[in-house]
Structure 1
Amino acid sequence: MQLTKYLALFNSADDRKVMLYSTRRCSLVRLDRETLEQISRGEHDPETCNALASVGIMVDDLDREREEIRVALADALQRTARFSLTLLLNLDCNLACPYCFEDNFRHRQYMGEETARKILDQLLLPQMQLGRAVHLDFYGGEPLLSLPMLKNIASTLFDASLKHGVEFSFDIYTNGTLVSRSTVEELLSLGLRALRMTIDGPKEVHNRQRPFVSGKGSFDLVVANLKAVYELVAVQIGANFSAENWREFPKMLDHLLAAGVKPQMLDVVHFSPIMPKSGAEVGGNHGGHCMNSTEPWLMEAVLSLREEAIRRGFPVAKVKSSACVVDFDNDFVVNYDGTFYKCPIFMGYPELSVGTIETGIIDYSNSHALDRWKCDDCLDCPYLPICYGGCRFFAMQRGGTVADLDCRREYFDAMLEKLILQEQRLGS
């Protein structure tokens, strides 16, 4: 047996020990340095090696492991009996967020009944007839502006799921201003699984970043609506920060606690840097928005905000194996007009469409560079299972194309140990 290629070594508080982290299995073990040196010399203790192999730290054959990683996404898809769709019911909103990534193409458009019917009849219901579970992410704009259509689609699929003996569930990406207890109670009976709401920092920051179209702040209403429903349904809170305001965001957590929100009842709190707008000039001026995961301020912000959340008892996302949604062939975005994309942020680039409800889904393996990470540099990188080539949009914004890599090696070299030890130290 040999140590896995997809391995990171961290220092331990005890100098006699070292921490080994499998990026493929996201497992962490502490090992005596002497034992690690023995393993490196090929002096295998079978019991120790078998224990390490059980958590992905050791493998029988490095070449076979490399090939397993190369085909891992395809194998996972073959084992998955679920079809996922992000469905844009509209491109309209009752907020006027200055950073909205849809600004360049959102003009109060709404999905028509005929388009919705075709999506059901030609795409979603056939998946259920094939025995596949279906999961929807209702998206906008603001999807709750299209509540009657949302209910109709959900009820149709819920009834079909019972008929075909498959699972149906859906999440709603919402700004939170139209959420109500009665609406959530009704939607739970149709398959609602989670709400994904946005609170951009404390009141003064949120109201600047997420005002109503009228200019009035939305913070108080969003928090009140959160309190009304978060014990009924899983709620994920997203918070979008910039280099200028991220230090203010712990105040948001304190406000939620003071308002009586029980952090353990939330699904997750996720802090993200504001992204450049979709459809903007590639490589142009993005007003200080995040362009590179290795920007020093961003790495500081990620660690600090994560720690502040964990310290207060709020759940945060852990480091895990992940890949770009583009790489999954059972996961699509459908715009309000029935146009298909692989990621919501690609909607600003018509050339990245992968078909329509009329024409069907086209072959996008070359246009979206599905094999871009199957190169030696990536396959030999210890961080591949938690990166898979990074974000295509970030690669585009730095003047590249969807075929270019958004290499995260520098980021993980600087951050992975800190993130994992933070989880261990604070018990997240």
Structure 2
Amino acid sequence: MSRLPQISSSRPFGYPADDAPLSCGAHSLTKLAKRFGTPLYVYSGDQMLERLGLFQAALAHREHLVCYAVKANSTLAILKLFAERGAGFDIVSGGELERVLAAAPEAAGRVVFSGVGKTAEEIDRALDAEILAFNVESEAELALLAQRAAKRKRKARFALRVNPDVFAETHPYISTGLREHKFGIDIREARRIYAGAKGNRWLTPHGVSVHIGSQIRSAEPFGAAMMRVAKLVKQLSQDGIAIKTVDAGGGLGIDYHAAPGFDPKAKVAEYAAALEGALKGLDVQLLLEPGRFLVAQAGALVARVLYVKRNGKKTFVVLDAAMNDLIRPALYQAYHEIVPVAPRAGRAVTVDVVGPVCETGDFFARDRKIKPIEPGDLVAVLDAGAYGMAQSSNYNSRPRPAEVLVVGREAKLIRRRETLADLLGPEMV
């Protein structure tokens, strides 16, 4: 039996040989850690583009636009990578718009602006940038959009984000499709709201948008939501409102355990078929907003073991990475595979993998079996490409990690490691 941990082929990380360290493509994580230090985010740009291509190929027969959900990972080099392959972008803040414009200004017309709390300043900036559309989440927001558009004398294309009241099995923090959630407009009210906006010269009813949650593993809820959207689009057509786009949102999940049966291509095909079945006969452009599915498995957080500490029956592996670098386990009790970069021989032992932050919640795994590990060893926290760096912080005054993007034979630093000077810079005494 191999001494190496099993890593699913759906990930871009693997051991090239029994005596070789974990690698991303042609690049050893040992060498990348030596070159760039730890903690370190390492991403496979090749897998990101491959996943984008799965959606584009599955929908090649229909006019469509894959709008990458910037909130999943907003690093500029990644945005540029997607833009160069024709992707659009789903943003939820003015800051994310600025990131898209900095990385790929030519992609402004492929941006949809979602989010429940858009400010007047954010709306103005998006109008000036001539984005594709606003996904409007309340009647009050639509009124503000009309006001700002009139003041700037720019027509605003909008889609109501309707709430279809469809249940999707996922973590309650990332479920968004029920009436009790803060997102969207009751689908039963949408027809009235579109009719009211029809006569406003500064508003253009352009689409209908829906988003039911994140990390959803079944295609059925997406199809059910899209059936309700399709019915609304037909009703709006009867009202003389021609809808140009239907935005299916994002939310297609991955397998963080990466079981052997997880097939990304099959998942995308199943998802696309569910949407197509609901939209059959409708002449609309289909917008998608995948985030996690494109980038999560493409990333790993590489960390060095500082100490192996035994308290009674418990063994703690203390890393130089912490919850400020990857908060998902502490926030959602999320599962991430953790593997040694250069595995040692011997039987796996049960440990808690933790960070140095002064919180009991600062952990990556509890009671996890892992190959023998010693201080100075490197480990990789897998599936960390989404909601890792994007949710990072400077808690405990810890500088955030560096990021490296691997594309083909090149491993490129795309964000330098923060310094204490960066942390102290904005403050005054």
Bucket of the pairwise TM-score, normalised by the shorter protein: 0.3 to 0.5
Higher relative contact order (CA closer than 8 Å, sequence separation 6+) = 2
More helix by share: 1
TM (norm. structure 2) is 0.35
> Greater share of strand residues, 1 or 2?
2
